[in-house]
């Protein structure tokens, strides 16, 4: 049985977020034209939010105060996983499963600890859901 090398697994991990971005772009293009701009604003707002958290963490050293590390990789992937799950519900389970596999790869490759990934997800996911749900509610109200 052939096993993947560290470098091969690293290549898979490095490909994950660009692949999610590509799928998100595909979902965005498939949306009704009237919803595309709002959906794009959601992706941009969510991305700005997770990088704002990263900057605040770098400034205040919140995660490091607990011997943890804010996982920008986890946060950015959750931007796209959340978008896909909300706008393409038939891909929701696959998107969530892909994030779990990505988290396992990050653990195996020792990029982050489980606590890094979980605390990052707990910190950003509620706000991501608010961004997506609020904007989606506004879209539905306009329809």
pLDDT in tens, 130-141: 998 865 555 555
pTM recorded for the entire structure: 0.89
**Closest to 31 in 3D by CA, of 16, 41, 19:** 41
The total number of residues shown for the chain amounts to 143
- Residues 6 or more apart whose CB falls under 8 angstroms from that of 121 comprise 74, 75, 78
Q: For residues 16 and 27, what is the distance between their CA atoms, to the nearest angstrom?
A: 16
**Residue 18, both tokens:** 């660009």
Question: What's the pLDDT tens digit per position in 61-71?
Answer: 999 999 999 99
**Closest to 47 in 3D by CA, of 78, 14, 24:** 78
């Amino acid at each position: 049985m052939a096993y993947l090398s560290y470098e091969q697994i690293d290549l898979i991990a490095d490909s994950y977020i660009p692949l999610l971005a590509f799928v998100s772009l595909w979902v965005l293009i498939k949306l009704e034209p009237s919803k595309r701009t709002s959906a794009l604003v959601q992706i941009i707002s969510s991305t700005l939010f997770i990088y704002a958290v990263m900057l605040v963490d770098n400034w205040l050293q919140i995660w490091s105060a607990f011997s943890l590390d804010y996982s920008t990789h986890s946060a950015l992937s959750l931007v796209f996983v959340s978008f896909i799950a909300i706008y393409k519900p038939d891909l929701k389970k696959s998107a969530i499963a892909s994030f779990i596999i990505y988290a396992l790869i990050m653990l195996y490759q020792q990029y982050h600890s489980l606590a890094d990934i979980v605390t990052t997800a707990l910190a950003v996911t509620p706000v991501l859901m608010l961004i997506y749900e609020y904007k989606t509610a506004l879209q539905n109200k306009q329809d």
